[in-house]
Chains A and B, each alone.
Chain A
């Protein structure tokens, strides 16, 4: 097994899938000559040429639509958004075209397309460049949404996304591109819709995805050191479909849960997870489920304020203490 960065794991997935299927192409801003704004597509133009690695103007709505149209005519486009903050300009194509055409055509026209790019706050990029879009995108029937936290999951989920016959949203953690991890070589597939326990535990479940998996793992360590309590870290990996069985199975064992996400609290992913738990694990709960989210404000530029706005291991530990009745 090789140790790769998250960025290179994504690059490997793209390369392998483009080698495997000539109908796969990559389109987006700076993906070719510039080698990718975040260097995810490094070396691909050289290997596959400009026919399959297509630089676009800054026109998210336009090239997202070209991707959907190409999928309607039988290709398997991978559309890269420089960040999901810009993809909001393309939401009409994602929501009104990609997600609906199969249904409104009575099943005649599938849209096998991947929309991918970095999501969530990085460092001091201020309000317009520091947003987590998963609850927006996960709301839409007709889309699948994945948010890998590790290099191995990034590779395995991107490969699954490219092979899927539906529009799949791949949310890459903007702060995760440089993290390293072991990645199985060759045919490594992570099925969409399967959560994974990243750390077993028995006193409380931290339910998280993408960057907050790192936050939750740190919190679990702190909780073990300071309180002697054992937290299970459940990485959702896919947000739609949601692995409800894994959530329920974990909460049945720990009887307590804290949901951690980078998005805002109102109508967030955590709200959906809490709904699943209260509905189907009601009798397993020993405490209300708590959520740790980004503060309910546009992201400030100031470093100290930004730190306060983001979910942190300390905030997760504080929530864990409350559900464990340690306060």
Chain B
């Protein structure tokens, strides 16, 4: 018995370590991918708006590690990290940023509209808060069909001030919809600090208005995000109750590629201070302390991430533009 228990415990330790290593690997991929995207944007290979996820990797990676393949994910325009964490190939995401026919939305959506219906990744959406009711609708469909899936919905703290957030949370609670409303509070809506424009600065408190379960989560700790999401997912699968997670994180980049990193709205020192909480360093340190990772292994993981990113960029570069005929396809379904 004792042996068996020990073996199980050892197996659990191994599984947990494996999960953490996988999360670290995904966070590295997102970090390197976004750095490559910034480079490609500077070279004019990516156009339009491009919102990077650097600093927030633990949120997508920690939460999506909980989800099953038949669950749903929906996000805002800052969607690269969630798409990659959901398993959309880096090649297809990068090609989409490049506007290529091989992109995950065939080059017709771009950075803000990544879709992969097969992985139930139902989009990046560009109107702040506009996709929150969509998440409720996906939850409605799950409940309508009697399923036990969840819908994971990401949005920034600035979306909390918009009507769609409140209408959606109210109805999700009234209809008991299996939705996890994951607010990535990175403290700034573009260049406006949240406390300057929000009467209630703890997003989590809004859950009270809608009689909804809620938690505040350290968004720089992938494992904390994982644990909170696990609780929310259980709540959704067993009774279809929604949860509001306020995940406190930080964006190291400007709002988008055309916005400054710091300046009028936050100080360089603040950004530097936040960098000390880097979610990747934190998880790497934890794994090292547990003896599950050494420097060589970390460098190997990083090299893999860089290689995958380089391959994604090469693939995107070499992929063809959509055919001119694509202009008029997919306006209407058959």
> Which residues of A approach B to under 8 Å, CB–CB?
25, 51, 54, 56-57, 59, 61-75, 77, 92-93, 96-97, 101-112, 141-142, 144, 165-166
- Tell which of B32-40, B160-168, B180-188, B250-258 binds the partner: B160-168
C-alpha gap A77/B140 in the complex (Å): 11
Q: Which of B297-334 contact A (CB under 8 A)?
A: 329-334
Given contacts A106-B105, A108-B117, is CB(A62)–CB(B168) below 8 Å?
yes
A105 touches B171 (CB 8 A): no
Residue of A64, A74, A93, A102 near B332 (CB, 8 A) is: A102
Q: Contacts A77-B137, A92-B127, A110-B333 known; list 7 others, CB within 8 Å.
A: A57-B170, A62-B163, A63-B133, A72-B122, A72-B138, A92-B164, A112-B333
C-alpha gap A46/B125 in the complex (Å): 37
* CB-nearest residue of chain B to A73: B141
Given contacts A102-B332, A103-B330, is CB(A63)–CB(B115) below 8 Å?
no
C-alpha gap A227/B120 in the complex (Å): 64
B141 touches A68 (CB 8 A): no
B329 touches A105 (CB 8 A): no
Smallest CB separation, B95 vs chain A (Å): 11
Residue of B109, B133, B334 near A66 (CB, 8 A) is: B133
* CB-nearest residue of chain B to A63: B171
A92 touches B122 (CB 8 A): no
Residue of A65, A74, A107 near B106 (CB, 8 A) is: A107
**B-side contacts of A165, CB under 8 Å:** 333-334
B164 touches A62 (CB 8 A): yes
**B-side contacts of A59, CB under 8 Å:** 167, 170-171
Given contacts A51-B144, A70-B140, A92-B164, is CB(A109)–CB(B331) below 8 Å?
no
A73 touches B138 (CB 8 A): yes
A65 touches B168 (CB 8 A): yes
Residue of A62, A75, A93 near B144 (CB, 8 A) is: A75
Interface residues as binary, B228-260 with A (CB distance below 8 Å gives 1, 0 otherwise): 000000000000000000000000000000000
Given contacts A97-B130, A106-B330, A109-B123, is CB(A65)–CB(B117) below 8 Å?
no
C-alpha gap A186/B97 in the complex (Å): 50
C-alpha gap A112/B141 in the complex (Å): 13
Given contacts A25-B144, A106-B109, A109-B123, is CB(A66)–CB(B333) below 8 Å?
no
B72 within 8 A of A: yes
A109 touches B115 (CB 8 A): yes
Q: Which of B72-126 contact A (CB under 8 A)?
A: 72, 74, 103-109, 113, 115-117, 122-123, 125-126
**A-side contacts of B175, CB under 8 Å:** 54
B24 within 8 A of A: no
* CB-nearest residue of chain B to A101: B123
**A-side contacts of B113, CB under 8 Å:** 104-105
C-alpha gap A107/B101 in the complex (Å): 12
B171 touches A62 (CB 8 A): yes
Candidate in A56, A59, A110 with the most chain B CB atoms within 10 angstroms:
A59
B132 within 8 A of A: yes
Smallest CB separation, A9 vs chain B (Å): 26
* CB-nearest residue of chain B to A62: B167
B174 within 8 A of A: yes
C-alpha gap A92/B163 in the complex (Å): 12
Chosen A-B contacts, 27 in total, with CB atoms closer than 8 Å, are A56-B171, A57-B171, A62-B164, A63-B133, A63-B167, A65-B133, A66-B133, A66-B140, A67-B137, A68-B134, A69-B141, A70-B138, A73-B137, A92-B127, A92-B130, A92-B164, A96-B125, A97-B131, A101-B123, A102-B330, A104-B105, A104-B108, A107-B330, A108-B115, A109-B115, A142-B332, A166-B332
C-alpha gap A316/B333 in the complex (Å): 38
Smallest CB separation, B104 vs chain A (Å): 8
Smallest CB separation, B177 vs chain A (Å): 8
Given contacts A61-B163, A62-B171, A66-B168, is CB(A102)–CB(B331) below 8 Å?
yes
B135 within 8 A of A: yes
B136 within 8 A of A: yes
B142 within 8 A of A: yes
B138 touches A69 (CB 8 A): yes
C-alpha gap A57/B172 in the complex (Å): 12
* CB-nearest residue of chain B to A164: B333
Interface residues as binary, B275-316 with A (CB distance below 8 Å gives 1, 0 otherwise): 000000000000000000000000000000000000000000
**A-side contacts of B108, CB under 8 Å:** 103-106
Q: What are the nearest 7 A-B pairs in CB distance? A: A69-B137, A65-B133, A62-B167, A106-B106, A73-B141, A105-B115, A69-B134
C-alpha gap A65/B115 in the complex (Å): 18
A105 touches B109 (CB 8 A): yes
**B-side contacts of A51, CB under 8 Å:** 144
Smallest CB separation, A242 vs chain B (Å): 14
Given contacts A92-B164, A106-B330, is CB(A74)–CB(B127) below 8 Å?
no
**B-side contacts of A62, CB under 8 Å:** 133, 136, 163-164, 167-168, 170-171
B132 touches A141 (CB 8 A): no
C-alpha gap A65/B171 in the complex (Å): 11
Smallest CB separation, B326 vs chain A (Å): 8
* CB-nearest residue of chain A to B113: A104
Given contacts A59-B167, A108-B115, is CB(A65)–CB(B332) below 8 Å?
no
C-alpha gap A68/B122 in the complex (Å): 12
C-alpha gap A109/B333 in the complex (Å): 9
**B-side contacts of A105, CB under 8 Å:** 105, 108-109, 113, 115, 117, 123, 330
**A-side contacts of B109, CB under 8 Å:** 104-106
Given contacts A72-B138, A97-B130, is CB(A144)–CB(B171) below 8 Å?
no
**A-side contacts of B130, CB under 8 Å:** 65, 92-93, 96-97
**B-side contacts of A65, CB under 8 Å:** 130-134, 136-137, 164, 167-168
C-alpha gap A166/B331 in the complex (Å): 9
* CB-nearest residue of chain A to B168: A62
